[in-house]
Chain A
């Protein structure tokens, strides 16, 4: 197929605006997949993704389309993740395209995430095709959405295509628009090879598979290739495209999208954003935009039963094969025993990993509250970075502390502007800007400490705006903050895993709220348990879990001794599931309590 008959495009959409359903319809319409074979939302292949309605891993599918001009075209649909944690991956997949479908829900309008990704797409000079989806819904208001497209982004709304991915209405117009409006890829097939890795995944037999867009040159099976960031060389054993099942090809040349298999042992060899070139004829310059992935959020993962420590490590090993963004190293906590300090791109990433460990590997975990990376400047002129409150140095050694800040963009119906501003204020936010996208919807910009975002910000934003607000943020750097460590003492003993780093002005409120919350989640035991919050030696809050007074099976079960025994066994097992700190039994949720305090 000639380069002029290739179109590379992606879909930009907010969660729930119907990206996956739209992709399914496009696959059906181009006969890439028979209707009866469709499980709904083919592109989201992991169960967890389908369940949560989000896309974690992007993929690429090659479609063949007979256009109205009588010619056959190859359409490469590159799927993009839809969440703020994965914005770097989004930017790489955008870089692999010449055009993007901008999907907006006809009743919801533009959301913060959509806008953020749209700006990214415009930065990459992509041709944008606005698509207004879900027009079959009774509360659809395409005219309002059109107005938003014009007013907020300056798109020509007459170019917007009205579709219902559910019923299939308008899909044919999208396909024609892709052919007519999105430019064909450029790039010389005879030039030095430069292929952009926009995703990778691990398979146990093939090793790491790199999804690439060939920008210049041609790659063939048997070629010696080089990863330009690491300078590591591999031999190409297979090349393939997805239709959507994997189909081997002999070569991929400028403009093509496909995957490269070259006996790479894990996804660290196929870093997203890296450039593949030929070992014997390397390109002079790599493609722009590569950056190593760096975790932003850390938390401790501990097995509830110490014996599962090795099983946890094996599971993390397996997940990391497929997830270059996941980092972990062994740590130990006086309270929780042996576990791992794990780094994640963001909260969603954390939740997904945690859930997969529990679900796919059957592990029972205690997760400590997520932490940002703090930069602590010491009085001796040196500085350290900590991602765990337990490593907070003694106060007298600290000169000053810096913490990461983000710029958050929040889209919200005007009725909730006040509530959102209040929340951001509460979270130590600095107001930057507000603009009305339409008369009913505003976009707010705030600068906030990342740690406050980690602290349940998203849930609270959703609950204060009845779910209407959407959030996007990017880290903008470190700033000095007056931070202190709040310790929690149970029965007089400090519990390292419950410590947290908070702003001095909020330390007392937070400490009090945390003590109250712990009082709720720690069950009554045979003795009174004092819960104290302290900064250094100063106690700032105190609560008491009162002693359990009555716990005795009073009912007579006649001769049914087995039943009595089973009831007691069950009670005993419940106790085993709790972490025993000194002589206090603490349930797993206590370690996340900090996230639930107001």
Chain B
């Protein structure tokens, strides 16, 4: 069953490393965006009126920069127009300094049952270096708000490989995160993206990033520490306290299943085609106020491409790709399609067959790109 992703392209400020689609906007502009969004939700709601959706994810940007009333408008637009499974996973991304008890309670009432907190690190000096607006103290108060509102299923986003970050620093952050006992942890390494201030600083030699070796140590540290703390490592960068806490919405991506994206810049994968809603906010708003879809790019996904992507994405999961599931979906077995690639990867000890699943080995996990790219024809 498909999921729905909603993009809220607004932030209180832009961070130096971030290249996600978001702007800092004033109230009237946001109001227009929401009205356009309501039109879009109604349009697709009609189109998919017989479809049941499994997950809902509000991402950004920072959805929680919105006022409670604005949040209600957007969330209600989705809930009123689409059908969801009972007890569906409803996640919203939040930054620690954008939350107050009232807002969290409000979200809980609206049906939000999972929150993903953009914590990044537990050290104030590094938070500042990342140009984040929150402090370590904000993280703790935010978690308290969540618990008080009864939202015990929450994720902490953490980052490593940060400028001037030592292995010790990283361990400190991990310890602090574990102490809060989140149900889920995402640990991403910083990636320099073009057209960000960090990229510029890097080119000028002003960004003191950890060496490749240190970054590897950091990656190893996450694995060991979180596994020890009882977390299940289920995707390259993701950990869950129990299987039921795995991010169901993200699993849709990793299983290469369909999803519908709403809002400017959101990606969709429905009916064998992938498309992107216009990144141009003005165009998005104008079109939808006129009840016209605003799409930047459509790509028809061939069967071969879908197979490739199923492998590329599925192998990110530690459970790997199940031969039977693949064969059922595509009418061919993994080995029939990729015998040569797999032989080579097996020989290099990057993948392994286990219980009818093709999986990354521990070594393959660190060198995942070599495995994933082998499946791209």
Residues of A within 8 A of B (CB): 524, 526, 548-556, 558-562, 564-565, 568-569, 571-572
Contact with A along B263-303 (1 / 0, CB 8 A): 00011110000101000000000000000000000010000
Min distance, Cβ A583 to any Cβ of chain B, angstroms: 9
Q: Is the CB of A551 within 8 A of B370?
A: yes
Q: For B191, what are the chain A residues with a Cβ–Cβ distance below 8 Å? A: 553-555
Counting CB contacts under 8 A, is B329 at the interface? no
Q: Is the CB of B216 within 8 A of A554?
A: no
Which of B5, B237, B367 meets A548, CB within 8 Å? B367
Q: Is the CB of B5 within 8 A of A526?
A: no
Min distance, Cβ B58 to any Cβ of chain A, angstroms: 12
Known interface pairs A559-B261, A571-B369. Does A552 touch B348 (Cβ–Cβ under 8 Å)? no
From 286 to 336 in chain B, residues with beta carbon under 8 angstroms from any chain A beta carbon are 299, 308-309, 312-313
- A559-B59 Cα distance, complex, nearest whole Å: 11
Which of A526, A549, A554, A559 meets B253, CB within 8 Å? A559
- A564-B187 Cα distance, complex, nearest whole Å: 18
Residues of B within 8 A of A (CB): 5, 59, 186-189, 191, 212-213, 215-216, 219, 236-237, 250, 253, 256, 259, 261, 266-269, 274, 276, 299, 308-309, 312-313, 348, 350, 365-370, 372-373, 376
Q: Is the CB of A551 within 8 A of B313?
A: no
- 10 closest pairs, A vs B, by CB? A552-B368, A559-B267, A549-B216, A550-B216, A568-B373, A554-B189, A572-B373, A550-B366, A555-B191, A554-B237
Q: For B250, what are the chain A residues with a Cβ–Cβ distance below 8 Å? A: 556
- A556-B159 Cα distance, complex, nearest whole Å: 12
Q: Is the CB of A554 within 8 A of B188?
A: yes
Q: Who on chain B is nearest to A568 by CB?
A: B373
- A492-B187 Cα distance, complex, nearest whole Å: 39
Mostly, the A contact residues are loop
Task: Write 20 A-B pairs (CB below 8 A) sorted by A numbering.
Answer: A548-B367, A549-B213, A550-B215, A550-B366, A551-B367, A551-B369, A552-B219, A553-B368, A554-B187, A554-B191, A556-B237, A556-B250, A559-B5, A559-B267, A559-B268, A560-B267, A561-B313, A562-B274, A564-B312, A571-B369
Chain A CB within 10 Å, residue with most, of B216, B365, B372: B372
Min distance, Cβ B337 to any Cβ of chain A, angstroms: 17
Chain B CB within 10 Å, residue with most, of A551, A555, A561, A571: A561
- A554-B216 Cα distance, complex, nearest whole Å: 12
Known: A558-B267, A565-B308. 6 other contacts (CB 8 A): A526-B370, A549-B367, A550-B216, A550-B366, A555-B189, A564-B313
- A133-B15 Cα distance, complex, nearest whole Å: 56
Known interface pairs A551-B367, A552-B367, A556-B250. Does A568 touch B312 (Cβ–Cβ under 8 Å)? yes
- A555-B190 Cα distance, complex, nearest whole Å: 8
Which of B213, B276, B376 meets A569, CB within 8 Å? B376
Q: Who on chain A is nearest to B253 by CB?
A: A559
Which of A549, A552, A571 meets B212, CB within 8 Å? A549
- A342-B213 Cα distance, complex, nearest whole Å: 42
Known interface pairs A550-B212, A558-B267, A559-B261. Does A568 touch B376 (Cβ–Cβ under 8 Å)? yes
- A553-B313 Cα distance, complex, nearest whole Å: 11
- A210-B73 Cα distance, complex, nearest whole Å: 83
Q: For B236, what are the chain A residues with a Cβ–Cβ distance below 8 Å? A: 552-554
- A549-B366 Cα distance, complex, nearest whole Å: 6
Q: For B5, what are the chain A residues with a Cβ–Cβ distance below 8 Å? A: 558-559
Q: For A524, what are the chain B residues with a Cβ–Cβ distance below 8 Å? A: 212
- A564-B237 Cα distance, complex, nearest whole Å: 15
Q: For B213, what are the chain A residues with a Cβ–Cβ distance below 8 Å? A: 549
Mostly, the B contact residues are mixed
Known interface pairs A558-B5, A558-B253, A562-B274. Does A552 touch B365 (Cβ–Cβ under 8 Å)? yes
Q: Is the CB of A552 within 8 A of B376?
A: no
Q: For B372, what are the chain A residues with a Cβ–Cβ distance below 8 Å? A: 553, 568
Known interface pairs A554-B188, A554-B236, A568-B312. Does A559 touch B259 (Cβ–Cβ under 8 Å)? yes
Q: Is the CB of A550 within 8 A of B367?
A: yes
Q: Is the CB of B266 within 8 A of A556?
A: no
- A559-B261 Cα distance, complex, nearest whole Å: 8
- A548-B299 Cα distance, complex, nearest whole Å: 34
Chain A CB within 10 Å, residue with most, of B187, B267, B269: B267
Q: Who on chain A is nearest to B372 by CB?
A: A568
Q: For B216, what are the chain A residues with a Cβ–Cβ distance below 8 Å? A: 549-550
Q: For B269, what are the chain A residues with a Cβ–Cβ distance below 8 Å? A: 559, 561
- A562-B368 Cα distance, complex, nearest whole Å: 17
- A323-B324 Cα distance, complex, nearest whole Å: 64
Q: For A549, what are the chain B residues with a Cβ–Cβ distance below 8 Å? A: 212-213, 216, 366-367
Q: Is the CB of A572 within 8 A of B253?
A: no
Q: Who on chain B is nearest to A548 by CB?
A: B367
- A554-B219 Cα distance, complex, nearest whole Å: 10
- A8-B186 Cα distance, complex, nearest whole Å: 80
Q: For B309, what are the chain A residues with a Cβ–Cβ distance below 8 Å? A: 561, 565
Q: For A558, what are the chain B residues with a Cβ–Cβ distance below 8 Å? A: 5, 59, 253, 267
- A434-B188 Cα distance, complex, nearest whole Å: 65
Min distance, Cβ B202 to any Cβ of chain A, angstroms: 16
Q: Is the CB of B212 within 8 A of A556?
A: no
- A548-B261 Cα distance, complex, nearest whole Å: 37
Q: For A572, what are the chain B residues with a Cβ–Cβ distance below 8 Å? A: 373, 376
- A439-B213 Cα distance, complex, nearest whole Å: 56
Q: Who on chain A is nearest to B157 by CB?
A: A556
Q: For B219, what are the chain A residues with a Cβ–Cβ distance below 8 Å? A: 550, 552, 554
Q: Is the CB of A552 within 8 A of B369?
A: yes
Q: For B365, what are the chain A residues with a Cβ–Cβ distance below 8 Å? A: 552
Min distance, Cβ A562 to any Cβ of chain B, angstroms: 6
Q: Is the CB of B369 within 8 A of A556?
A: no
Which of A526, A556, A569 meets B373, CB within 8 Å? A569
- A551-B373 Cα distance, complex, nearest whole Å: 11
Q: For A571, what are the chain B residues with a Cβ–Cβ distance below 8 Å? A: 369, 373
Q: Who on chain B is nearest to A575 by CB?
A: B373
- A553-B235 Cα distance, complex, nearest whole Å: 12
- A549-B313 Cα distance, complex, nearest whole Å: 21
Q: Who on chain A is nearest to B187 by CB?
A: A554
Q: For A559, what are the chain B residues with a Cβ–Cβ distance below 8 Å? A: 5, 253, 259, 261, 266-269
- A344-B119 Cα distance, complex, nearest whole Å: 62
Min distance, Cβ B251 to any Cβ of chain A, angstroms: 12
Min distance, Cβ A585 to any Cβ of chain B, angstroms: 11
- A561-B376 Cα distance, complex, nearest whole Å: 13
Q: Is the CB of B299 within 8 A of A568?
A: no
Min distance, Cβ B203 to any Cβ of chain A, angstroms: 19
Q: For B312, what are the chain A residues with a Cβ–Cβ distance below 8 Å? A: 564-565, 568
Q: Who on chain B is nearest to A567 by CB?
A: B369
Q: Is the CB of B368 within 8 A of A551?
A: yes
Chain A CB within 10 Å, residue with most, of B274, B350, B370: B370
Q: Is the CB of A556 within 8 A of B376?
A: no
Q: For B348, what are the chain A residues with a Cβ–Cβ distance below 8 Å? A: 526
- A565-B267 Cα distance, complex, nearest whole Å: 14
- A571-B308 Cα distance, complex, nearest whole Å: 16
Min distance, Cβ B89 to any Cβ of chain A, angstroms: 15
Q: For B369, what are the chain A residues with a Cβ–Cβ distance below 8 Å? A: 551-553, 568, 571
- A572-B191 Cα distance, complex, nearest whole Å: 19
Min distance, Cβ B233 to any Cβ of chain A, angstroms: 13
Q: For A555, what are the chain B residues with a Cβ–Cβ distance below 8 Å? A: 188-189, 191, 237
Min distance, Cβ B284 to any Cβ of chain A, angstroms: 17
Q: For A562, what are the chain B residues with a Cβ–Cβ distance below 8 Å? A: 267, 274, 299
- A569-B372 Cα distance, complex, nearest whole Å: 10
Q: For A550, what are the chain B residues with a Cβ–Cβ distance below 8 Å? A: 212, 215-216, 219, 366-367
Min distance, Cβ A538 to any Cβ of chain B, angstroms: 33
- A118-B236 Cα distance, complex, nearest whole Å: 71
Q: Who on chain B is nearest to A552 by CB?
A: B368
Min distance, Cβ A556 to any Cβ of chain B, angstroms: 7
Q: For A553, what are the chain B residues with a Cβ–Cβ distance below 8 Å? A: 191, 236, 368-369, 372
Min distance, Cβ A258 to any Cβ of chain B, angstroms: 55
Min distance, Cβ A166 to any Cβ of chain B, angstroms: 36
